[in-house]
Amino acid sequence: MSWHLKEKLRQTLAMEQNAMVFAPGSRHGFALVYPNTYRVGMSNLGFHIIYEQINQRGDTACERIFLPDKKTAEEYARTNTPLLTLETQRPLYEFPLIGIAITFEMDYFHILEILALGKVPLLAGKRSEKDPLVIIGGPCATFNPEPLADFIDAAIVGEGEEVIHELLDTYYLCKQRGLTREEILRRFAQIEGIYVPRFYQPVYDVNGVIREYRRTADVPDRVRRRWVKDLTRYKAQTVIVTPETEFKGMFLVEVGRGCGRHCRFCMAGYCFRRPRMRPLAQISEAVAEAQRYGLKVGLMGAAISDYPEIDRLCQLILSRNMALSVASLRADSLTDTLVRALAASGHKTITLAPEAGSERLRRVINKGIDDQHLYEAIDMATGAGIPHVRLYIMVGLPYEQDEDVDAIVEMAQNVKKHMEGRGSKGKLTLSINPFIPKPFTPFQWLPMAPVETVEARLSQITAALKGQKGIEILVEPVREAYIQGVLSRGDRRLGAVLHTVHRRGGAKAWKKALKEHGLDDAFYLYRARSLDEVLPWDNLDMGLETGYLVKELGNAQEERFTAPCVPGCVRCGVCTSPAKEGVI
């Protein structure tokens, strides 16, 4: 056991405020893993929320574990030290329950690395009665946990604040009664929102498509996603204050959850759809707390400018001589007050997400934003003294034509010209990502655009805008997007591939490992699924009515607008009784 590693963890703990540390043995242990570095994990609000929920129980001590950097991982291996928790520097394998919060597909590789470093058997089927139960949660667990099925014992589908307590209560009761691991998992599978993959065995056709899932225990046909009906019962704000986060100097505050805009590419919009807003009074308490720490308020939510009381919230923050920050904004719901508040908070860039260059393609994806919205938003920003503009764009969107790619270039040139026309000398940044079709969206059946097409389109855009003063282009790594593309709609057979990649030491071995296991990325990426195909995530239920996604796919093809969520609506099936469900 390395003294140096323990000391490093103690130093990290010492720079934090509000970490909760309990004497070993005084409570049950729960290891909460973020499968990326400390810095990334501590920037994730969901991670803070679950940490607090577990510790508030009084019977459980939640201890955090992160992916060590390369040098530290080598030190763990060299000194034969099992991966240790931050709070009490205990080995991961000693915890009876391990929860892993997963937000990005590329972190799947890190999960195996962490379990191996923590000396936890990688395969769920190989774990004995004394080994931990490994439970995943977060967006990836909600939309498609199948590629990780071999390594996990259970997945939490949906929002975790309530179901985590049901899971822990069930676990402690089962342990008191001396139940086996298998029996505990059977009990877990009866809890709404908990998926236990081992009880749903896929049967494949010769062509590799899933023929059916066979239930091997008395479990629900489909696992319903959990959601919190009354958000006000749970705070969602920074719990542990640390200088080491992506949002340095910021106190994160959730203003609302879900999004009712129905953008057809957006997994968050479909899986966490039901829009629920927090009352201003509750957010105001969080703002007061941010002030006690002397931190800027980082407003979190799917579409911040859609918050009905955004102006009053901005005024409240400024009236306390505090600053605020937001990620990207919807160009069609910006207010002058919000933009001025951002400028007063020191924002130099306004970030908008038109997603596509042409209005036609924006209709396909139901973005609901036209060029005029962009110009008006830029006018507001320029008028408030925010010089720079960043636009999020995707290439390879469904039904994209060559003209739509030309339109990205035109949009960039027009926006830049517009900025200059308003006297702005600011920079325009295009942040471009390849489009990845996601489960539970109307595009879940469609092929991803071929990598060659996406690369050619990116080169075309870059070449067309090359040398244009004040325009910068940032492109996400394209090859990585295609690994994400496989994992996001992948099936359980990818577990063997992840395992091989892990043994070979990283994602570089991906393509070769796929081949070795008789799989082809084209099967996952480029194949149009038929509408009646059994999809890997069909065991999960987001609450959408059967046929709703097909209807929305038709609307995309017809470029028809789907209106946002409104009170009283029962359109998609998610709200059965809007009055009771608390939808805004």
CA distance 389 to 380: 12
Residue 584 Cβ, how far from ligand SF4 at the closest point, in Å?
Answer: 9
Residue 562 Cβ, how far from ligand SF4 at the closest point, in Å?
Answer: 8
By CB under 6 A, tell whether 255 contacts ligand SF4.
no
Q: Is the separation of the CB atoms in 470 and 427 below 8 Å?
A: yes
Tokens of 381: 């920003």
Residues 6+ apart with CB under 8 A from 362: 354, 355, 356, 368, 369, 370
Instruction: Point out which span in 71-79, 170-178, 266-274, 316-324 binds ligand SF4 (CB under 6 A).
Output: 266-274
For ligand SF4, give the closer residue by CB, 257 or 416. 257
Q: Is the separation of the CB atoms in 534 and 148 below 8 Å?
A: no
Instruction: Point out which span in 26-34, 209-217, 221-229, 564-572 binds ligand SF4 (CB under 6 A).
Output: 564-572
By CB under 6 A, tell whether 574 contacts ligand SF4.
yes
Residue 193 Cβ, how far from ligand SF4 at the closest point, in Å?
Answer: 18
By CB under 6 A, tell whether 363 contacts ligand SF4.
no
By CB under 6 A, tell whether 114 contacts ligand SF4.
no
Identify residues 188-247 at the interface with ligand SF4 (CB under 6 A).
none
By CB under 6 A, tell whether 277 contacts ligand SF4.
no
Instruction: Point out which span in 223-231, 318-326, 460-468, 568-576 binds ligand SF4 (CB under 6 A).
Output: 568-576
Residue 510 Cβ, how far from ligand SF4 at the closest point, in Å?
Answer: 28
Judged by phi (left if over 0) then psi (alpha if -120 to 50, else beta), residue 303 lies in beta
By CB under 6 A, tell whether 260 contacts ligand SF4.
yes
For ligand SF4, give the closer residue by CB, 128 or 576. 576
For ligand SF4, give the closer residue by CB, 65 or 259. 259
For ligand SF4, give the closer residue by CB, 261 or 388. 261
Which residue from 436, 582, 398, 533 is spatially nearest to 106, judged by alpha carbons? 436
By CB under 6 A, tell whether 299 contacts ligand SF4.
no
Which residue from 447, 452, 446, 464 is spatially nearest to 405, judged by alpha carbons? 464
By CB under 6 A, tell whether 352 contacts ligand SF4.
no
For ligand SF4, give the closer residue by CB, 533 or 581. 581
Residue 353 Cβ, how far from ligand SF4 at the closest point, in Å?
Answer: 7
In Å, how far are 208, 224, 528 from 534, measured between CA atoms? 11, 17, 13
By CB under 6 A, tell whether 41 contacts ligand SF4.
no
Q: Is the separation of the CB atoms in 151 and 495 below 8 Å?
A: yes
Residue nearest to ligand SF4 (CB): 269
- Candidate list 9, 101, 210, 302; residue touching ligand SF4; CB under 6 A: 302
For ligand SF4, give the closer residue by CB, 380 or 583. 583
By CB under 6 A, tell whether 570 contacts ligand SF4.
yes
Residue 151, number of CB atoms within 10 A of its CB = 26
3-state secondary structure 138-197: CHHHHHCCHHHHHHCCEEECECCCCHHHHHHHHHHHHHHCCCCHHHHHHHHHCCCCEECH
- DSSP lists the bridge partners of residue 369 as none
- Candidate list 186, 273, 388, 493; residue touching ligand SF4; CB under 6 A: 273
Angle (CA) 485-355-488 rounded to 5° is 15
Sole residue written with tokens 């080598």: 74
Tokens of 86: 């931050």
List the end-to-end C-alpha distance of the chain, in Å, as a whole number.
Answer: 53
Main-chain phi, psi angles of 298, to 5 degrees: -100, 105
Q: What mask of x and - would describe binding to ligand SF4 in positions 303 to 342, judged by CB under 6 A?
A: x--------------------------x------------
List of residues contacting ligand SF4 (CB under 6 A): 259-261, 263, 266, 268-269, 273-274, 302-303, 330, 565, 569-572, 574-575, 583
